[in-house]
Structure formats: structure tokens, C-alpha cells
Chains A and B, each alone.
Chain A
Amino acid sequence: MIPTSFDYTRPSTVDEAVSTLRAAGEDAKILAGGQSLIPVLRLRLAAPSTLIDLGGISDLVGIRSDGDSLVIGAMTSHAEVAASDLVRQHAPMVAEAAQSIGDPQVRHMGTFGGSLSHADPAGDLPSVALALDAAMVVAGPEGRREVAAGDFFTDHFTTVLGADEILVEVRVPKLAGWGMRYVKFNRVAQAWAIVGVAAAVRRDNGGIAEARVALTNMGPTPIRARGVEQALAGADADLDALRAACETAAEGASPSSDVTASAEYRGHLAKVLSRRAVAAAAGL
């Protein structure tokens, strides 16, 4: 199928994109890499009046270091994120998650900001952003604001982005001295995560000082496994202690049942994958 007709515009600055978005009204849609949007348009699950293509805004592409943060432009492709030395050095889990998305062709077109704004519950980057306490930099008619990852995702495919706002970059704190790992479970090539776990761990004196654990596809939005995090703080760094701490991984989650897995199985996966991700992040 081909999409329904729409008007198309390719602004060259963020300001121009925001004013175009505002003028076009609620039926307008932002086009980033299109790897989620174009299939949706083709299935005619969406029929926007206008597509505003961010592909002409070079300011939105690139990765830079800014003090204690890594700043990733919204239009940077997954392939660029996965290959970036800066990302591998300061937030290796972001590179791991980007490398796990789709397939090579999708990673060449798909973008970091597009994935986060699309907010698919099975998307890999939202839980990683949540575990790292990343800040979303959002541009709108009133200028720019920062939204914590924990406040950004509100429901299935829904974020706090207003109808006239655009995600322009993401600030990822550099966690010096932390280990981190993204573990994704799926069964066939190029598949979505059935469940994924993003874990970051800081060790001291042989034990675990602090841990952050966030889950992919265990509910309509990514969630932090707070019970696991609390149980890990001060825990011994051995596999039995991690196994015990991860028993609560699915508590408070509301996973769905679908063709790939039952909710119960997802709950089981959350525990197992949390242990694996935390163990890898802790260097065990």
C-alpha cells in the first residue's frame, strides 16, 4: 500500500520547523528517519495532513561532549550512535541498545530522537534513557525546555511533547565509574524486544553501591524496577545476591500478553534478564 496524500515540507532550522508545525495544526506529523512512521502511513493507520521532514536540519545531527553530559542530536542515526567512540566511552549501553534495533538498513535511516519520540513500548532506547536519567531537550514556540526521561513517556506511543514541540537533542549524563549493559530478548532476526532490561551499576568495596534498572515492554511505558534497585543498594556483588535482588523485577509492572509472549512469561523474563543485565553491568 502507499500512504494517503499529504503536504510535505522540509525546513532547514528548528525555529522554522516549530513554526511550520504550529501553523499546520494537530494533523501534522514530524518525519525523522521514517522507519516507524512510513510503515504506519503505508498501513494507513495514520493519515497526517502534512509531513514536516527534519532531514534538512543539519544542527540536529551529531554527538558531542558537553561537560558532564553526552549530547546526542535527535536526527543522529542509530548506526552513527552505535559506532560513536564518545558514546561507547561514556554511555556504552546506549551504543548496545542502538546496535540492537531492527536491522542494518533500518539503523542507517532510523534516528535516536525519532525512536524516543515514537515511544513504542517495545522500543529499546526509552528504557536506556530512563535508566541513565537522560534529559530530553524539547523545542517549542516558547523556546527550549528540558524534560527528564522519567517524565517524558506517558503512555503507549505517547510522550509529553506538545503538538507544537519537537525533541531536538538528548543529554545523557556521563556515569564515570559505572558499569552498564542493555540485554534484549527476542527469538527471531530483526524482531522487537519481547522484554529488555537496561542496567547501570556502581560498585565499591567489592559490593554494589548503587544500581539503576529499567525495563522495556513491561507496560505501556518504560519503567524503573525500583524494588530491584533498592535490594541491590549495598548488596554483595555475587550472583546469588543478584538473583535474590532481581526476584521483584516484575512487581508493579503491567506487561501485555500478545502473540510473542504471555504477561506471565514476560514477568519471568524481567527477572532473568535483570539478573543478566545487572551481573554484566557489575562485571560478574
Chain B
Amino acid sequence: MTRISVTVDGVQYQDDVEPRTLLVHYLREQLGKVGTVVGCDTSNCGACTVMMTGTSGRHSVKSCTVLAVQADGREVVTIEGLADMNGGADRAGRLHPMQQAFHEQHALQCGFCTPGMIMEAVDLLEANPDPTDEQIREGLEGNLCRCTGYQNIVRAVHAAAAATRGAEPEPAPEDVVPGPQP
């Protein structure tokens, strides 16, 4: 066992973990943070995305492809702590703007990809507060929705970006017209 010290959603934990423990399993099974889900289990789908501090600030990572020992000394934010991230006292009891936008824009169907989508979208806006459709789609490249609900996800990211900037939400972009059916 290896002793790790890690801050998760603002709370500091010291725990003994097996070195082979994946961060997502540590979060879910040892800390009970079951908001972070395991989707594909192969580093493709991004459902397990959380934020973790590293050498260049706090960024999104796929927690099924990070060992818990790699999080030692770092700070992790999960979907469960997102509303309170950066203090968040002014939002007591309220959702993070990205969560609110996903709710209002109906950016989910089954909801399984949603925790990862939201965490990655938050990372995207931290780097680029006013992304284009294309930048949103590229930025969410590592997150798969198998209900194929991407249209409303892109819409929600735009809405959250506008809300975060204090701007009026822009009109919904035109839907992509599907090509001729075979």
C-alpha cells in the first residue's frame, strides 16, 4: 500500500491505496464519489473525466487512465464538487453555469456521458471563454455520447459560455442538415 494525500472537491484526504488502484475507483469506491462514472473502461469515452492540478494548472483528465498514486499531492474536482469549485459561495445550493446550461438546453438523453461532458466543457471554457461550434466539437473530441445528442450539448456549452461572460445567450445555431440518406 502507498499513502496518498489528495484534495477532492475541497476536502483533503489521506489514504492508503494499492498502487494499481485507478483514480476513478479510488473516487467511487473509497470516497463514495459515484457521480464520476466508468463508461468504456478503455480511455475512449471520457465519461470518467475529472479535473486535476498538474504542472500547468488544473486540467481535465480521464480518471480511468490515471493511477490514484499519480494524484498524490494534487487537487481533484469531480462533478460532485463542480458547483463549489473556486469557492462558489455565491452559488450556494445552485448549479455550476455549465450544469445549469445542460439542464436548460436538454443536453442529455440517457445522461451517462453527462458528468464527463460537463467537466470537459468546463475545461474548454477555461481555456477559451467564447468558442465556436467547431472549437466546441473539437474540444469535446474525447467525450462520446452514444445517444448522439451532440447538437444540444454544443448548444449548452454556448449557453454556459454566454452566461459566464454575462452576455445574453446567442440564438441557437442552425442545426446541421443531414446529408442525403442512402
Contacts and interface: CB of A to CB of B under 8 A. Distances in A.
A186 to B, nearest CB: 11
A224 B95 CA distance: 53
The prevalent SS among residues of A at the interface is mixed
B15 to A, nearest CB: 14
Given A7-B19, A104-B141, A34 B67 contact: yes
B61 interface: yes
B20 A2 contact: yes
A227 to B, nearest CB: 35
Contacts of B67: 8, 31, 34, 38
B18 A34 contact: no
B124 interface: yes
B49 A105 contact: yes
A22 interface: no
Contact of B142 (A6, A8, A38, A106): A106
A8 B43 contact: no
Contact of A108 (B18, B41, B61): B61
* Chain B CB within 10 Å, residue with most, of A58, A77, A103, A190: A103
A39 B65 contact: yes
Chain A interface size, under 10 / 10 to 19 / 20 to 34 / 35 or more: 35 or more
A260 interface: no
B20 A4 contact: yes
A187 to B, nearest CB: 13
A45 interface: no
Interface in B5-43: 18-22, 25, 41-43
A6 B20 contact: yes
B66 interface: yes
Nearest to A60: B55
Interface string B49-82: 1000011100111100111011010000000000
Q: Which 10 A-B pairs have the closest CB atoms?
A: A103-B142, A8-B19, A108-B59, A3-B20, A189-B141, A103-B141, A105-B62, A61-B55, A38-B65, A105-B142
9 contacts: A6-B19, A31-B67, A38-B22, A38-B67, A51-B19, A53-B69, A75-B55, A104-B123, A105-B46
Interface of B: 2, 18-22, 25, 41-44, 46, 49, 54-56, 59-62, 65-67, 69-70, 72, 120, 123-124, 139, 141-143
